[in-house]
Structure 1
Amino acid sequence: MSYLIYVILDIDPEAWNKMMQLGRKLADERGAEADFYYTGSPRDAYTGADYVIITIFTSGLDAMGHDLKIPEDYGIYQTVGDTVGPGGWARGLRNMPVFAQMARDIDKYSDNAIALNYMNPMSVLTKDFCKVSGLRTVGLCHGIFEVYRLLMDISNLKSEDEIKVCFGGINHFFRVVDMRIKGEDGYRLLSEKMNGRPFAELVTEVYVDGVGYHSDKWVTSELLEFYGYLPYVADRHISEFLPFYLTRDIQKLEKYKLKRTPVEDRRRYKQLGMDKLNALLAGKEKLPDKRSREIAADIIDSFVNKKEIIDAVNLPNTGQVSNLPRGSIAETLGIVNSTGFNPVRVGDLPEQILNLVMPHVINQDMIVEAGLEGDLDKALWALYNDPLCSHLTLPEVKEMGIRLLKANKQYLPQFTGL
């Protein structure tokens, strides 16, 4: 691409200052023609913007601490807490006012900018954006990349190009409904590799996810065995969508080798990241010579240079997953080119998978309605129906929900009377 202008909109002076330094350093080393600016004004940031990449975190780690700690009093031990369950519910509601205002501002000041959302809960916040604005919006997550990586490891492959998958569902909870490995039936090859053993035993190296926690894939293995389809292979995420693993008995986490992400660890990882960044800026460490697998740059390249890519996207369901509600946010492959985002058709999810996914789709849509309307009843209805709350009485779920909302009160102007 030719000359680029990057404008950073942030409320944290340390963060935007260091990002500007890093951007300039990378541009200089790569010989890229680019300028970097900071502003605290949404109007200045969005005026003339062609693309907006969203990576905000409303309220920081203090609020996330409430998301995880309060549910523990009710026998819910979330491993991540950013997508579903009480933690994902609270996180979604407190981020929605900020996202909604951002959508309105981009709609108002930009000339039809394209919004790329990286924030969780992905489905809720992407739909929030779509409901409030007419912007072309996509949610981006690296989940399917992890599936590719694991299949490559199991099959001793060197390139993703040797694997073709058809997958569908919602963010962090999709299923691979069909796969081809080097042109052959992937499920047949996988069954032959397993030879009666659990899927987890095929994982030939310690697997590390994006925040540094390994998983032995026993949840993935069990879901493949009992439901017949390979899920997203991040056990810490998929376990939160189901009532089997994270409630009542904390010892179940050890049985399935599930590692939680306490806020204390997140603070430590944040500091390690900052130390790494400072070393890069000081020239004590070399800048990375390999790009990440994230696709925001590829998407922009596709629009600017009229190219085409196929990759994972979260988009409003227009029929790509035919037995999920229209308008809900579905995660599938998508074709990205100068015409926009075009989801690849999956067809129907298998019935046994649909039964697992549908409650979350309904809940996520209800959370969006509740957050936009300030409807406390709708917000609580979604929480009552969450599988992680299924062992509780309704009064207990309501009590927990009100506690979470009160802990986030300063970020919830849409709910009066808390």
Structure 2
Amino acid sequence: MTRIVFIGAGSVVFTRQLVADLLLFPDLPPLDLVLHDIDPARLEVARGTAEQLAARFGRPLRVTATVDRRAALDAADVVVDMIQVGGIETTSVDIELPATFGLRQPISDTTGIGGVFRALRTFPVLSAIARDMRELCPDALFLNYTNPMAMNIWWLSVVSPGLRAAGLCHSVYWTVHDLCELIDVPVEGTHFRAAGVNHQAWLYEWSRGGEDLYPRLRDTIAADPELERRVRVEIFRRIGYYPTETSEHSAEYLSWFLRSDEQIERFRLVPGQHLATAEQNLAEFHAAQRALAEGRELELDDDGAAAEYAPQIIHSLLTGTEREIHTNVPNRGYITNLPPGAVVEVPTTVDGSGLTPITVGAIPTQGAAHNRTYLSVAELAVEAALTGSRDAVLQAMLVDPNASSTLTPDRLADLVDRMFTAHHALLPSTLGGGAELDLSDVPAPRSPR
């Protein structure tokens, strides 16, 4: 029986979606689903969710829940990672502390100072998971949903290069889904491909029945001036290709939007917006907890198709079905005008043999130029944890477009120091933090380059 392990299964809404998507495939064999979380209450809700869905779908699914990570990983075939180290409390710090310095972030989990410190908190846990996997399930496929995506996969490629790992994000799929809705074209039958970095990939192919759909999008935008108040529309106008993440995420990757009150108002941005989302997720957890205790059915997003990539990959691995998705992987020549070894997002073929990233070649020069800026921030974050250099964290912020366009170097240095103090217990021991980070298995030299 194929053993699927969810690490961080207490992310209840996401676990619900992944399990539901898995069970939508009628030709999957019986699965052994193992749920792991460090929070027993959340783990119990995840277990109850999986069992209820299996009963509702009438599908064979053996569900086990454990707070013991090593027990969960033993003999795993596929490991799906969705951890959030520190929970909502650290997310609040990532947004609210920089805001006291005047640095505004709507999301703060992928780039910028929030993204970098989220990465630094996550690296020790990822290293421990990789160490366990090398011992307990060395051939397993590791599928990461945890942000910051590119930094986390980059870290794993350095500290555990033998691990079969890929990062998954639904941003490309939902971007195309939403664009098709905007121009009133069915998404079914649409051909699309994007490439770049996670949350800043560029939709370089988008067609249906041989028709390039970009002219329709341009006409739709021209007919509605309010669309020009969207961050992604502004990026599309200036770059020429549509970016594959929400406006709130996209704004943090550039210096254009968050540096002034005028731009924030013009593009209808809400600094700190992610805190409301985190509170909503907490409310969703409590609602699921009550529903299970009362024997009520959980609500599902019922569109009749598996939208998330991890269930699609598992289905392809077990049935041989070939499909194309997008994954985040170290750049082994897939994008020729982005740095080798950096983590890029590219189209990927998946079938019974596994994942095969597609060589894209050169992406549009103007898009690659902005991608390189983000990759420099990610590289410095990885280097900081590897070398124990706090200076590298500040240097990452001096490169980051939003941070460096908003604060002076002196103010950024003060903010970085405050963030180190606030997150001390969860930061890598290499940086003086309280989280053990064993680099004894890291191949020399210890550098992300």
Residues 261-307 of structure 1: CA deviation (Å, up to 9, x unaligned): 25355224321343145325634345535455112111011112222
1:252 partnered with 2:263: yes
**2:336 aligned residue (299, 302, 322):** 322
Write the distance in 2 (CA, Å) between the matches of 1:49 and 1:145: 28
Structure 1 pair 286–76 and aligned structure 2 pair: CA distance change class (3 A): closer
Amino acid at match of 1:403: R
The 1:264/1:146 distance shift into structure 2, 3 A limit, reads: closer
Aligned residue in 2 for 1:363 = 377
Q: How does 1:191-340 map to 2 (within 5 A)?
A: 191-195=218-222, 198=225, 200=227, 218-247=230-259, 249-260=260-271, 261-263=273-275, 265-276=277-288, 278-279=290-291, 282-285=294-297, 288=300, 289=302, 290=304, 292-340=306-354
Q: Is the 8 A contact 1:96 1:372 kept in 2?
A: no
TM-score (norm 1): 0.90
The CA deviation string for residues 327-371 of structure 1, in whole angstroms up to 9 with x for no partner, is 111112110122222112222122222221111112212211222
Question: Percent identity between the aligned chains?
Answer: 29
1:175 aligned onto 2:181: no
- Structure 1 counterpart of 2:421: 406
Structure 2 Cα separation of the partners of residues 155 and 56 of structure 1: 36
Distance 1:323 1:339 in 2: 28
Residue 28 (1) aligns with residue 43 (2): no
- The alpha-carbon distance between structure 1 residues 390 and 11, as it changes in their structure 2 partners (threshold 3 A), is same
Shift of 1:108: 1.5
Amino acid at match of 2:111: V
Which deviates the most, 111-120 or 350-359? 350-359
Q: Which residue of 2 aligns with 1:104?
A: 131
Deviation at 1:103, TM superposition (A): 1.2
CA RMSD of the aligned region, Å?
2.1
Q: Verify the 8 A CA contact 2:376 2:399 in the aligned structure 1.
A: no
Is the alpha carbon distance of 1:190 and 1:128 closer, same or farther for their aligned partners in structure 2, counting shifts above 3 Å? same
Residue identity opposite 2:414 in structure 1: E
State which drifts further: 344-353 or 111-120.
Answer: 344-353
TM-aligned CA deviation for residue 410 of structure 1: 0.1
SS in 1 for 2:126: helix
State the shift of 1:19 in Å: 0.8
Q: How many Å apart are 1:233 and its aligned residue?
A: 4.7
1:414 to 1:80, Cα distance in 2 relative to 1, 3 A: same
Partner of residue 139, structure 1: 167
Shift of residue 240, structure 1, vs aligned partner: 0.2
Whether contact under 8 Å (1:106, 1:113) holds in the other structure is: yes
Instruction: Specify every segment of 5 or more residues in structure 1 that has no aligned partner in the other structure, as ranges.
Output: 202-216
Distance 1:406 1:175, change over 3 A: same
Partner of 2:212: 185
Unaligned runs of 5+ in 2: 1-27, 435-449
Rounded Cα–Cα distance in structure 2 between residues aligned with 1:4 and 1:305: 13
The one of 352, 368, 385 equivalent to 2:366 is 352
**Counterpart AA for 1:345:** T
In the TM superposition, residue 143 of structure 1 has moved relative to its aligned partner by 0.5
Higher deviation after alignment, 231-240 or 340-349: 340-349
**3-state SS of paired residue (1:349):** coil
Aligned residues: 401
| Alignment deviations for residues 207-258 of structure 1 (CA, whole Å, 9 cap, x no partner) | xxxxxxxxxx6111111112211112510000000111112x3453222112
